Amino acid sequence: RGRAEAGGGRAAPEPGAPAEEAVVWSPEVEVCLFHAMLGHKPVGVNRHFHMICIRDKFSQNIGRQISSRVIWDHLSTMYDMQALHESEILPFPNSEKNFILPEEIIQEVKEVLGIKPTCPHSSSAPKPWFIFNSKICS
């Protein structure tokens, strides 16, 4: 498989940061990247896990260690990664709903914690997390 060549074109690394060789993205090196991406999509909720696999396979293919940042940067030159990420369908429902804890549960927790029922309008004290947005006046 292809070897990545060191080359210029990148800004100098920050002081104290390890020096990283730039990758010359020849067609052969890009093919190695695409082979490494087979079965891994660097978009969606699992994009970082997939990127670890891509980075490991790509580094092995070209014979030297490449950081994920170099790969992300290169993919960003070819694709609108943000748009791809946003267009990815979530593998689980993610709808937002308002939620109010039932009064019975609030009273149970208050009894366990030894909190006396009070009216939130009579005190400026902050409400405990489990009473937030709930009516606690008797």
Model confidence pLDDT, tens digit, residues 84-101: 988 887 777 777 788 888
Which structural domain, as residue segments, surrounds residue 30? 6-87
Q: Give the mean pLDDT of 75-89.
A: 89
Q: What is the pLDDT of residue 22?
A: 83
Considering the domain architecture, whether residues 78 and 19 belong to the same structural domain is answered as: yes
Do 82 and 23 share a structural domain?
yes
> Which DSSP string do the residues of the chain spell out, in sequence order?
-PPPPEE--SPPPPTTSPP-PEE---HHHHHHHHHHHTT--S-STTHHHHHHHHHHHHHHHHTS---HHHHHHHHHHHS-HHHHHHHSPPSS----------HHHHHHHHHHHTPPP--TTS--SPPPTTTTTS----
Q: Is the same domain home to 74 and 22? A: yes
130 and 68 within one domain: no
Same domain, 16 and 73: yes
Q: Is residue 68 part of a domain?
A: yes
pTM of the model: 0.54
Look at residue 118 and tell me whether its pLDDT is greater than 70: no
Query: Domain total for the chain?
Result: 2
Q: Please report whether residue 1 resides in a domain.
A: no
